[in-house]
Amino acid sequence: MNTIALVGNPNSGKTTLFNALTGSNQHVGNWPGVTVEKKEGVLKFNEKIYNIVDLPGTYSLGAFSEDEIVARDYILKGNPNVVINVVDATNIERNLYLTTQLLEMGAKVVVALNMIDEAKERNIKFDIKALSEKLGAPVIPTVASKRKGIEELIKQSIELIEKDIDFKANISYGENIDKEVEKLKGFLNNKDLEYPSQWIAIKLLEGDKYIYELVNKDENVNSSNEFKNVIHNIKNNTEDYELEIVDKRYEFVSNIADLTVTLPDEAEETITDKIDKVLTHKWLGLPIFALIMLIVFQLTFTVGEDLFGELMGRGIEILSEIIENLLIIINSPSWIISFVTEGIIGGVGAVVEFVPLIVVLYMLMGFLEDSGYMARAAYVMDNIMRALGLQGKTFISMIVGFGCNVPGIMSTRTLENKKDRMIAILINPFMSCGAKLPIYLVFIAAFFPNNGGLVLFFLYLLGIVVALLMGKIFSKTLFKGESSYFIMELPPYRLPTLRNVLRNMWDNVSGFLKRAGTTIFAVVTVLWVLAMLPLGVEPYGQSSILGQIGLFIAPIFRPAGFGTWQAAVGLFSGIAAKEAVIATLGMVYAGVSQGAELVSTIQEVFTPLTAASFMVMTLLYIPCAATIGTIKKETNSYKWAIFTVVYTFAIGWLGAVLVFQIGSLLGFS
């Protein structure tokens, strides 16, 4: 099957184009060996199918980050038949910089000149034919969000697969460098290397460590002393060569752009500028950010819970009754009935009930992300972050963590410096993820039904505050040294497309549902068995194995006010996945109080104060197994994964105890 790869700068519309090409035929995995996300999909066109690979969004194809290495390795070694380079027409020079690198690699490139609608609006004019000639590659104007130009783009790409053209950007890097390149090529030619020799030569001059290692290890190349001398010489002068090369590349791009693009004389104030005056304002920026988050949680709560949540709950109750009756009619043994109604429906059902809420939360977050606001949030937070020894971009990984800690932690790879990255990884678990939401909601419904949005807001806020405090402590103790520089694009505000918002929501919700059907189901099954054994004990009683385990752990939580074995078992199972906390509570309490609603049982066994300390505990304590695994993978060490487990447990416990003890002193109950 022919393969088409997508390459482009961040925010160029690459994801939108990928979705337009593949529709729902896509799946997400990982690139082998690294945690960079790999998206693949299938395009059907004229009865033929093509494999579409979405490469990570990058500004360049150096060895700057894992993303860049993944992208360039794929282009050079994965042998895609065609590379579609998504270019943001409103930002032509920087985007063409990447294009020239693709051409230098000898890839077959089709340029998708995307966002052409916005370019028109800003009065940027293109001579497409000339641009295409200068680059030596087809250029197709597109509006990915409106699916314009897509068909032409596909046609051109497919046409190119058949053709045998030599793609090449012939950039002259000036006499000096060109001479060095030729010299190096003399050593490299015919050496059966993985990459084209011209490209290797340039990369060596650019001081690319990976390529240097590669060449250095290759005995074919490395055998001559002469070569060693040349390399040595280069190493001493890389700094000069490196920047000279980038400069020349830009010159090449600028020359092309000058001849083919007409920019407006004086950019007038855009809507984005006007909005930014308010949203990034010195004093208003932060309060507005807080307000936006408050609105998000209030809406999540009102729409997701009040409007649809109850419907969902009732639906599950009815379903449960129908199934129970069916099972009775067909004369099933009572243990099956118990397993299905108390185990599965009590457990998995308690989780599924919260789907509407998760849907609303992810739609709102997706809306914010797609609108361009997230970058502003990082911007307004940079000052606070800097005062704590962190930096603004760390905050983006934290916000992503609100959805799920796994992508939150993975997104820390945009942080250039190791110290920033380690801290960002270690504090991410405090960001309350979507899976914890059901826990809060049950307790809010039981004790704080009138202030749901506010309670949620404060929980999330507490998560942020604890994360930042820990960040400060880490930067003073474990990871000393300079925080790295801060540089970030502020993309123009755009009205998010419904398609993008829905897709983003579905990606998350389907994960949630999948976990409900797999991990949660497995946990519930194991717990149910443990609750029934040894045979003859009262099911869900203290003397069951489950009860005994709970009783064993429970004393730890006595200072926090919820030292019951049920709570202990719930928290314990939450290490598998956070939804399991509520699934477990649903099961053990549904068992005790025979069909009574979980909420009313909770009202009996908890108090408002212990509910608060329990919520704080679930907010802060040990992250789920998937997150722990990701920490291990990203830090490449078990040490940090174990460290996270231990310290988050300590913090969670401390937080819950403080809430309970101080609350008690103040006379709350």
Partner 1 sequence: MADISLIQLNSGEQGKVKKICAGGCATKRLYEMGFNTGAKVKVVKNDAGPIIVSLSGNKIALGRGLAQKIIIGN
Ligand X SMILES: Nc1nc2c(ncn2[C@@H]2O[C@H](COP(=O)(O)OP(=O)(O)O)[C@@H](O)[C@H]2O)c(=O)[nH]1
Residues 6+ apart with CB under 8 A from 529: none
Query: Which range binds partner 1 by CB under 8 A, 481-489, 501-509, 572-580, 594-602?
Result: 481-489
Q: Which is nearer to partner 1, 193 or 286 (CB)?
A: 286
Q: With beta carbons less than 8 A apart as the criterion, state whether 435 and 464 touch.
A: no
> Would you call 567 helix, strand, or coil by DSSP?
helix
| 64 CA to centre of own chain | 20
What's the min distance (Å) between Cβ of 261 and partner 1?
A: 10
| Residue 16 touching ligand X (CB under 6 A) | yes
Contact 618, 590 (CB under 8 A): no
Residue 452 and residue 300 in contact, taking contact as beta carbons nearer than 8 Å? no
Tell me the window of 11-19, 180-188, 616-624, 649-657 that interacts with ligand X (CB under 6 A). 11-19
Concatenating the DSSP letter of every residue in 172-227 gives --HHHHHHHHHHHHHHHTTS--SS-HHHHHHHHHTT-HHHHHHHHH-HHHHT-HHH
Chain residues 27-86 in contact with partner 1, contact rule CB under 8 A = 59-60, 62, 64
In angstroms, give the least distance from the CB of 559 to ligand X.
47
Contact 206, 181 (CB under 8 A): no
| Residue span binding ligand X (CB under 6 A) among the ranges 71-79, 143-151, 194-202, 585-593 | 143-151
* φ/ψ bin of 107: left (φ > 0), alpha (ψ from -120 to 50), beta (otherwise): beta
Q: Which stretch binds ligand X (CB under 6 A): 141-149, 164-172, 378-386, 407-415?
A: 141-149
* Distances from the Cα of 23 to the Cα of 26, 44, 469, 545, angstroms: 7, 10, 43, 49
Determine the Cα–Cα distance for residues 343 and 527; give it in Å rounded to an integer.
Answer: 8
- Binding partner of 602, given partner 1, ligand X, none, CB within 5-8 angstroms per partner class: none
| Count of residues interacting with partner 1 (CB under 8 A) | 45
x/- track of binding to ligand X for residues 357-376 (CB under 6 A): -------------x------
Strands 48-54 and 37-45, by their bridges, are antiparallel
Q: Which stretch binds partner 1 (CB under 8 A): 35-43, 269-277, 563-571, 615-623?
A: 269-277
3 state SS of 61: coil
Phi, psi at 261, each rounded to 5°: -125, 135
User: Is 413 or 436 the residue whose CB approaches ligand X more closely?
Assistant: 413
Q: Quick check: helix, strand or coil at residue 338?
A: helix
Which of residues 229 and 254 has its CB atom nearest to partner 1 in the complex? 254
Q: Enter the tokens of residue 593.
A: 């109080």
Instruction: Give the per-residue contact string, 124-163, with partner 1 (x = CB under 8 A; - = no).
Output: ----------------------------------------
Smallest separation, CB 248 to partner 1 (Å):
10
User: Which residue in this structure is represented by tokens 């028109």?
Assistant: 120
Interaction with ligand X in 52-81: which residues (CB under 6 A)?
Answer: 57
Counting contacts by CB under 8 A, is residue 121 touching partner 1?
Answer: no
Residue number with CB closer to ligand X (330 or 487): 487
If contact means CB under 5 to 8 A according to the sort of partner, which of ligand X, partner 1, none does residue 93 touch?
Answer: partner 1
Q: Among 165, 329, 487, 495, which residue interacts with partner 1 (rule: CB under 8 A)?
A: 487
Q: Note if the bond before 138 is cis, omega within 30 degrees.
A: no
Q: Which residue has the tokens 């060095």?
A: 180
- The residues near 472 (Cβ < 8 Å, ≥ 6 apart) are 388, 389, 390
Sorted by sequence, the CB contacts under 8 Å of residue 387 that are 6+ apart come out as none
Q: From partner 1, ligand X, none, which one binds at residue 37 (CB under 5 to 8 Å depending on kind)?
A: none
619 binds ligand X (CB under 6 A): no
With residue 27 as reference, give the H or E element that holds it. Answer: strand 26-30
- Residue 631, classified by CB atoms within 10 Å of its CB into exposed (0-12), middle (13-18) or buried (19+), is buried
Binding test (CB under 6 A) with ligand X, winner from 5, 6, 7, 8: 8
11 touching ligand X, by CB under 6 A? yes
Compute the least distance from the CB of residue 16 to ligand X, in Å.
Answer: 3
The H or E element that residue 76 is part of is helix 66-77
Q: How far is the CB of 397 from ligand X (least distance, A)?
A: 16
Member of 76, 263, 461, 530 binding partner 1 (CB under 8 A): 263
CA end-to-end span of the chain, whole Å? 66
Calpha distance 444→354 (Å, rounded): 13
**Nearer Cβ to partner 1, position 176 or 510?**
176
Here's the x/- map for partner 1, 382-401, by CB under 8 A: it reads as xx--x----xx---------
Angle 53-55-59 (CA atoms, 0-180°, nearest 5)?
A: 155
Burial (Cβ within 10 Å: 0-12, 13-18, ≥19) of residue 490: middle
State the binding partner of 64 from ligand X, partner 1, none, CB within 5 to 8 A by kind.
partner 1
Pairing relation of β-strands 37-45 and 26-30?
antiparallel
- Could you say which residues in the range 406-435 bind ligand X, by CB under 6 A? none
DSSP state of 149: S
The partner in contact with residue 114, picked from partner 1, ligand X, none with C-beta cut-offs of 5 to 8 angstroms by kind, is ligand X
Indicate which single residue of 35, 81, 270, 661 sits in contact with partner 1 (rule: CB under 8 A). 270
> What whole-number distance in Å separates Cα of residue 255 and Cα of residue 249?
10
Answer left, alpha or beta for residue 44, where phi above 0 means left and psi between -120 and 50 means alpha: beta
Using the Cα atoms of residue 173, residue 177, residue 178 and residue 182 in order, give the sign of their dihedral: negative
C-beta of 496: minimal distance to ligand X in Å? 5
If the CB atoms of residues 59 and 479 are measured against partner 1, the closer one turns out to be 59
Q: Does 243 bind partner 1 (CB under 8 A)?
A: yes
3-state secondary structure (DSSP) of residue 329? helix
Task: Mark residues 407-426: x for contact with partner 1 by CB under 8 A, - for none.
Answer: ---------x----------
Could you give the string, one character per residue 87-106, with x where binding to partner 1 holds by CB under 8 A and - elsewhere? ---xxxxx--x---------
Q: Which stretch binds ligand X (CB under 6 A): 13-21, 23-31, 527-535, 611-619?
A: 13-21
Q: Indicate which of ligand X, partner 1, none lies near residue 57 (CB less than 5 to 8 Å, by partner kind).
A: ligand X
Q: How many chain residues touch ligand X (CB under 6 A)? A: 21
Site string (469-508) toward ligand X, x via CB under 6 A: -------------------------x-xx--x--------
Q: Calculate Rg over the CA atoms of the chain.
A: 29
Site membership for ligand X, residue 118 (CB under 6 A):
yes
Among 223-231, 246-254, 320-328, 339-347, the segment contacting partner 1 (CB under 8 A): 246-254
Q: Which residues bind ligand X (CB under 6 A)?
A: 8, 10-16, 57, 114-115, 117-118, 143-145, 370, 494, 496-497, 500
Q: Which residues bind partner 1 (CB under 8 A)?
A: 59-60, 62, 64, 90-94, 97, 122, 207, 238-239, 242-243, 246-247, 250, 254, 263, 267, 270, 272-273, 276, 280, 282, 375, 379-380, 382-383, 386, 391-392, 416, 485-492
